[in-house]
């Protein structure tokens, strides 16, 4: 069955093909791959996946934040978008959306003009808005792991506000797919989207970027697999690394000096 996903107000929609019958049988190879890679917790221990502990489908959450600048110590989140989705372990196919949240957040100081120029979010847009932490937690808690494009950046901004951001494993769609081996010189989300013919309603807006990134990860990577399969099998990031700037694919809003 095909599930049409049309995010209200996001100006972007796409179809996720839902084929549980393709996941319900013959996912032993995915189990083997996962057991070889291991699932690493935030404490650093590795748990081996087995047929008893893992089903043919799983849930993960893709998240993106837009901010007032680059520093998680001095800058603040102005928009957060997260989508929890179900995926097939056998192929990495993204099957359907389980839950989502998008919200603005008014920072304690005004949004710098340079940041607004990039992501288009102004002081007027965020006036009086606060992130719904309870709703956000309800979206992410069932997820096995979090994903972001340049995950260390997003994680660094989130861990001071959300315990789950510190506790959950994180994977990175920028680092955990070998884009160069697939012929892409840049790991920039916008350039990868362009190369795959994916249109973004509003580039550098958290909701549009999440929608488009999921479309990208659901693209055919060959051999009947999706790009998400490579992300799924990759070991989680253990520690956040220093943000990588525009040459490696940082969101343009993350290139604004504080």
State the CATH number of the domain containing residue 220.
3.30.420.10
Q: Describe the strand order of the beta sheet including 170-172 as a list of residue ranges.
A: 94-104, 77-88, 57-67, 146-148, 170-172
Q: Which domain holds residue 108?
A: 2-255
> What local confidence, expressed as pLDDT, does residue 209 receive?
94
Cα 53 to Cα 31, 90, 99: the distances in Å are: 10, 15, 23
Q: How confident is the model at residue 180 (pLDDT cuts 50, 70, 90)?
A: very high
Instruction: Convert the pLDDT of each residue in 31-71 to its tens digit.
Output: 445 444 444 444 344 344 444 457 899 999 999 999 999 99
Instruction: Convert the pLDDT of each residue in 216-240 to its tens digit.
Output: 999 999 889 999 999 999 999 854 4
For residue 133, with 0-12 CB atoms within 10 Å meaning exposed, 13-18 middle and 19 or more buried, which class applies?
A: exposed
185 and 194 Cβ atoms separated by less than 8 Å: no
Pair type for strands 57-67 and 77-88: antiparallel
Share of the chain above pLDDT 90, in %: 66
Tell whether pTM > 0.85: no
Cα 120 from Cα 108, distance rounded (Å)? 18
Average pLDDT over residues 133-146: 97
Tally of domains within the chain: 1
Q: How confident is the model at residue 202 (pLDDT cuts 50, 70, 90)?
A: confident
Cα 257 from Cα 136, distance rounded (Å)? 28
């Amino acid at each position: 069955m095909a599930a049409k996903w049309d995010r209200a107000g996001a100006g972007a929609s796409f179809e996720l093909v839902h084929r549980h019958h393709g996941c319900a049988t013959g996912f032993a190879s995915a189990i083997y791959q996962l057991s070889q890679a291991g699932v690493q917790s935030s404490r650093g221990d590795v748990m081996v996946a087995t047929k008893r502990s893992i089903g043919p489908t799983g849930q993960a959450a893709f998240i993106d934040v837009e901010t007032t600048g680059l520093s998680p110590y001095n800058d603040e989140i102005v928009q957060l978008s997260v989508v929890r989705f179900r995926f097939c372990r056998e192929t990495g196919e993204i099957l359907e959306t389980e839950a989502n949240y998008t919200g603005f957040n008014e920072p304690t100081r005004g949004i710098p003009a340079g940041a607004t120029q990039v992501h288009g979010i102004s002081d007027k847009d965020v006036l009086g808005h606060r992130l719904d932490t309870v709703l956000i937690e309800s979206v992410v808690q069932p997820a096995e792991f979090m994903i972001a494009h340049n995950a260390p950046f997003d994680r660094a901004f989130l861990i001071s506000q959300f315990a789950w951001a510190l506790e959950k494993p994180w994977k990175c769609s920028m680092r955990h797919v070998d884009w160069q081996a697939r012929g892409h010189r840049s790991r920039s989300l916008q350039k990868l989207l362009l190369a795959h013919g994916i249109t973004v309603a509003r580039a550098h807006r958290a909701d549009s970027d999440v929608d488009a990134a999921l479309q990208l990860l659901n693209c055919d990577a060959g051999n009947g697999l999706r790009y998400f399969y490579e992300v799924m099998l990759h070991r989680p990031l253990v520690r956040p690394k220093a943000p990588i700037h525009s040459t490696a694919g940082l969101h343009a809003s993350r290139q604004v000096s504080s």
